[in-house]
A and B are shown apart, each in its own frame.
Chain A
Amino acid sequence: MKYKRIQPIVKQQNRDLVKVEFKWDGEPPMPGQFFMLTLERLDIFLPRPFSVFDFQNGVLSFLIKPIGRFTNLIMNTDDFHIMGPLGNPAPFATSGIFVGGGIGVAPLHFHAKQTENFIFIAGSLTDDLRFFISDLEKRGRVIYTTEDGSYGVKGLATEPLEEILKEKREITVFACGPVPMLEKVKEITGGRNTYLYMEQVMGCGTGGCKGCAIKTTDGYKMVCSDGPVFNAVEVIFE
């Protein structure tokens, strides 16, 4: 774990998504792990968690969807503090199905790249995601879905999952995205071999404040220090 003040080397925007890259000479991240990014300006006080989108040749990338105060400022700011890698690595699997909803594809991209055999289902409203994740197409099978069929397969990301599972019952499933999607994934797999990337607002990101609680079958657990990837069986959706 390392903490430093740093400026990005690349910032790239494509419609609704922003990619930010930093040179990183700290500990290399593992799939599942995240970093806390802080803006130098005090009026956005808390750091925000972002998963590793990619890490290669000492360059650490994040793929970010601007949705609020912090994320909307990224294109206009160069002074960051960054801290990580944080959280636990995701469970290891040599083959897996990845189900990403919207910006949920970010951590799965890094994870899939380190998985020998994968099927990657990327669900979104438009074809935005492909711009950033098409490198996966060389490494495994990628299925794009959009709700209105404007790009790829029409429907939800969970629909191809149901089809695929009919044949590959034993395969591990990793999912990240909006809560209704995660609930649906858990329903489809019955929680079997299924791991969910969970989100919660964070304070410290390091297990210190007990701020990032989610409900589990074993009481409250912290996304930052017990997760962020949880066995679907233990997650209780509210």
Chain B
Amino acid sequence: MNKLHINIGGLGLKNPLLLASGVWDMDSPVEIETYGAVILKGVNLKGRKGNPPPRIYDIQCGVINSIGLENGGVDELNRKIEKIKGRTKLIANIFGSTIEEYRDVAERLKGIDGIEINVSCPNVKDSGIAFGRSPEYVEKITAQVKKVSDVPVFVKLTPDTDRLEDIALAAEKAGADAVVCANTYTGMVIDINTGKPILGGTTGGVSGPCIKPLTVYRVWKLRKILKIPIIASGGIASWQDVIEYIMAGANAVEIGSIIFRNLEAGREIISGLNKYLEEKNIHHILDIRGGVHDG
């Protein structure tokens, strides 16, 4: 039996390592075949031009970005998907400024294996995180998307809320096949010479190794209350980080920022996981899942 093969909400994946949304685009040279699935860049109905530059900045042990969900809309995405179909499982990351837009995007998507509902982008004012902080909206959006989709639906949560559990439970109640915990944390960097924000979008989303303990905590907290699977996303840089998330309760993980600095991070993580399971004589990766209790 394959030690890494997993199944999430009916979606069979060759391994639990997913490429997170927003770090890869169709032509960029990442070996997407390495990953159990690839989550495509955020897409809405008609597209979006993105935030003013600068859009990305190095912080110690991580990144802050305010890309602003630049994309060419769902019809353009459908055409692009045609070209990469079959390389690995493809999951669309969808957003909108109304509940109906989420539904319409989901309905129009073609050739994908799953949908990740993005209700957690900190970089756009009229959609995303405002919905993601409300259990009621998350429930409505999830239910609408579920209604029109024949593929598994995941809900990507914002970590920036004190109602994380309520929101995750709302997604579960509305039929989500998994939750993704979590998107980036809202942050800010200031140019001390001018006293102005460095990012063109003023604030941004913080990702990379510096956020890992914050998100491990949230995964661990959600594990106690959710029945549906959890896909972890936040600061993974090595196979050890993947093990940590699975021990906290994740069923699968996404890697994002790390591939900026290491194009082969995916392959290195998979081989590290295989070696670990072999050496420890563990039958399947999820055998170690959620084994962490209060200390």
Note all chain B residues with C-beta closer than 8 A to A46.
56, 58, 63, 260-261
Residues of A within 8 A of B (CB): 1, 3, 38, 42-47, 69-70, 81, 83, 200-215, 219-220, 225, 238
Check: B73 CB closer than 8 A to any chain A CB: no
In angstroms, Cα B257 to Cα A203, docked, is 8
Q: How near does chain B come to A70, taking the closest CB pair, in angstroms? A: 8
Cβ of B49 and Cβ of A45 under 8 Å apart? no
Taking CB atoms and an 8 Å cut-off, the chain B residues in 3-28 that contact chain A are 22-25, 27-28
A85 to B235, CA, bound (A): 27
Q: Which residues 167-190 of B sit at the A interface, judged by CB distance below 8 A?
A: none
Q: Is the CB of B25 within 8 A of A45?
A: no
CA distance A107 to B30 in the complex (A): 26
Interfacial chain A residues near B209, Cβ < 8 Å: 42, 45
Residue contacts A-B, CB under 8 angstroms, 10 given: A45-B58, A45-B60, A200-B53, A200-B54, A203-B257, A209-B56, A210-B41, A210-B50, A213-B52, A215-B53
Query: Contact check: which of A38, A45, A205 meets B59 at CB < 8 Å?
Result: A45
Option from B28, B54, B58, B60 in Cβ contact (under 8 Å) with A208: B28
Taking CB atoms, residues of chain A closer than 8 Å to B286 are none
Given pairs A47-B261, A81-B261, 4 additional interface contacts (CB within 8 A) = A3-B264, A46-B58, A212-B55, A213-B50
Closest to A68 in B: B58
Cα of A44 to Cα of B208 in the assembled complex, Å: 11
Q: Which residue of B lies closest to A207 (CB)?
A: B28
Give the one of B25, B30, B49, B208 with max A CB within 10 A.
B25
Check B65 against A209 for contact (C-beta < 8 Å).
Answer: yes
Asked if A208 meets B55 with Cβ closer than 8 Å, knowing A3-B264, A45-B62, the reply is no
- Complex CA–CA separation, A213 to B51 (angstroms): 9
Give min CB distance, A223 to chain B, whole Å.
9
Contact-residue bracket for chain B: 35 or more
Indicate whether A44 sits within 8 Å of B58 (C-beta atoms), given known contacts A203-B63, A208-B30, A209-B260.
Answer: yes
- Residues of A with C-beta under 8 A to B27: 207, 225
**Cβ contacts under 8 Å, A207 to chain B:** 25, 27-28
Are A211 and B25 in contact (CB-based, < 8 A)?
no
**B2 contacts chain A at the CB level, 8 A cutoff:** no
> B-side interface residues toward A, CB under 8 Å?
22-25, 27-30, 41, 49-50, 52-63, 65, 67, 70, 208-209, 237, 257, 259-264
Given the complex, which residues of B lie within 8 Å of A1, measured CB to CB? Answer: 29
Report, nearest first, the 3 A-B pairs whose CB atoms are least far apart.
A208-B28, A211-B56, A206-B28
Contact B53 A204 (CB under 8 A): no
Residue of A nearest to B51 (CB): A213
Q: Nearest chain-A residue to B60 (Cβ)?
A: A43
Chain B residues with CB under 8 A of A215: 52-53
Set of chain A residues within 8 Å of B22, measured between Cβ atoms: 209-210
Q: Choose among B30, B54, B65 the residue with the greatest number of A CB atoms under 10 Å from its CB.
A: B54
A44 contact set on B, CB distance < 8 A: 58, 60
A203 contacts B260, C-beta separation under 8 Å? yes
Distance in Å: Cβ of A202 to nearest Cβ of chain B: 7
Q: Whole-angstrom distance from the CB of B154 to the nearest CB of chain A?
A: 21
* CA–CA, A213 and B201, complex, Å: 12
Interface pair B25/A201, CB less than 8 Å apart: no
* A25 to B52 CA separation, bound complex (whole angstroms): 38
- Which of A3, A43, A200 has the most C-beta atoms of chain B within 10 angstroms of its own C-beta? A43
Inter-chain contact A201/B261, CB cutoff 8 Å: no
Shortest distance between the CB of A210 and any CB in chain B (Å)? 5
Q: Are B70's CB and A208's CB within 8 A?
A: no
